[in-house]
Amino acid sequence: MTVLTESSETQFLDAVDVVLTGFFARGRAGTSGLPATVGQLWDALASSATGGKRIRPRLLLSVVDGYGGGPAGTSDGAGWSPEDPAVVTAAALELLHTALVTHDDVIDHDFVRRGKPNVAGIYRRRAAADGFDAAAANERGQAAAIIAGDVALAAAYRLVASTRARQLPVLLDLMDAAVHSAAAGELLDVEYSGHLRVPSAEVVLQTALLKTAIYSFDVPLQAGAVLAGAPAEERQLLCRVGQDIGTAYQLVDDLLGVFGHESATGKTTTGDLTAIKHTLLLSHAVRQPGWPSVAPLLTGAGSRTDVETLRDFLVASGARAYVQTMAREYAERARDAVAGSSLPVALRADLGVLIDAAVDRVR
């Protein structure tokens, strides 16, 4: 039996949504008297923040609840308030995520996320309607997305500061760790993509850790531990567990980016190959016999036939099976660390569910 009941999670996530809705409403209201496009940028940013899995709030809540630290100042199950430091911190982590994926879409030249136009896509469409050619419309859409991402990034820090929690300095340090690691991972992703000099598996895994695992899994778990007053050694354990879960999650993401169903993922299954993204799939494939015969397709993988041939090679060469195995190994390492720990029983159970959800998914 876990502490994290469905009703507690729903109340918490609803409170997080109240914080985010309030933030976007205040930002929108502040554009009164300005040209309409300024307010519409806030609308586009708000739209991009909806529809996600809310992974980061769920992780933070699992730790806070696991240590028995329900809503601040209550002991009667009165429910989560939008002013609760845990709720506000979780909302800040979601805003940080929104900022990072908004900028990531610019870097990747993506104009759709979760099956709908992202900020860049919305403003590209507006520019095209205003008569700009395709290249100019792309540039204008991406410029708007950079601005929107900057707004969300600054707001994430402001939200954490607004909690005035006694643990604020530590929470801000965690925000820094999230941003700095994600920036490093994003840079490595850019440096290693777009050409055939595919890095080693070790480098690819380091990139996944920096770009995704730390800010989306490690930091939310640590933030929950800080807010719950968990012992330092257990916070460090949650750090390591979060990094392993996050790496497994990213490996599954890479698999879905090539072999998933676009209707489920909301993303193209050709983009990683056409952009020559150096995932673990590719890192393994280039070192297998037969790669030289399909490598030329990668530099010109514009046709569906080329992509299908490359996809078939990833299966036949064992690359797909290899990445599936690696994802399971990272998940099992996290599961073993949790099972052999002194973490609260309820938290161990919740983390087991979260580990399963990270790897057994279609989106």
The whole-number pLDDT of residue 4 equals: 58
The whole-number pLDDT of residue 299 equals: 73
Could you read off the pLDDT of 201-260 as tens digits, one per residue? 999 999 999 999 999 999 999 999 999 999 999 999 999 999 999 999 999 999 999 998
Distance CA 14, CA 81 (A): 9
Answer yes or no: is pLDDT of 168 > 90.
yes
pLDDT band at 270 (very low <50, low <70, confident <90, very high): confident
Could you read off the pLDDT of 80-89 as tens digits, one per residue? 999 999 999 9
pLDDT band at 310 (very low <50, low <70, confident <90, very high): very high
Could you read off the pLDDT of 112-159 as tens digits, one per residue? 988 899 999 999 999 999 999 999 999 999 999 999 999 999 999 999
Phi, psi (5° rounding) for residue 117?
A: -60, 135
The structural domains of the chain, ordered by start, are 1-165 (1.10.600.10), 167-363 (1.10.600.10)
Please compute the mean of the pLDDT values over residues 18-32 and round it to a whole number: 97
The whole-number pLDDT of residue 23 equals: 97
Instruction: Look over the chain and give the mean of its residue pLDDT values, rounded to a whole number.
Output: 92
Got the DSSP string for 298-337? Answer: HHTTTSHHHHHHHHHHHHHTTHHHHHHHHHHHHHHHHHHH
Q: Is the pTM of this model over 0.85?
A: yes
The whole-number pLDDT of residue 259 equals: 93
Among 74, 117, 148, smallest CA distance to 266 is for 117
Please compute the mean of the pLDDT values over residues 156-177 and round it to a whole number: 97
Could you read off the pLDDT of 193-202 as tens digits, one per residue? 877 788 999 9
**E strands in 60-182:** 112-113, 116-117
Among 8, 10, 62, smallest CA distance to 348 is for 62
Answer yes or no: is pLDDT of 1 > 50.
no
The whole-number pLDDT of residue 302 equals: 58
Long-range contact set of residues 356-360: C-beta below 8 Å, sequence gap at least 24: 356/331, 358/245, 358/246, 358/248, 358/249, 358/252, 358/331, 359/248, 359/249, 359/252, 359/327, 359/328, 359/331
> Which residue type, as a one-letter code, is found at position 205?
L
